[in-house]
Amino acid sequence: MGFYFDDNGEYREFEFWENRVSCIKCGKTYRQVCEEQAPGFRSRDLDVCPYCGTENGSSISINYYNYKISDSEGKNE
């Protein structure tokens, strides 16, 4: 969970989650942390593969934070 101030100056909680996704072009698995954008401050955010740079979608309500998976986590499980 995270927190932000809404349009009325009220302190609110927002959701975030992380999981593993695969790129539609290179097929590599990467870690994706998603965070709900604060209402009133939304903009289009791209889901970009950290390995090859391919756009795997976009959203106007989610921020994507994509990371390469370390060797210790296992790249393609």
Dump pLDDT digits (tens) for 26-56.
Answer: 999 999 999 888 888 889 999 999 999 999 9
Q: What is the DSSP string of 9-46?
A: S-EEEE-EEEEEEE-TTT--EEEEEEEEPPTTS---EE
For the chain, helix, strand, coil in percent to 5 are 0, 50, 50
pLDDT-derived band at 2 (thresholds 50, 70, 90) equals low
Asked if the model's pLDDT at residue 77 lies above 50, the reply is: no
Dump pLDDT digits (tens) for 5-15.
Answer: 655 676 665 55
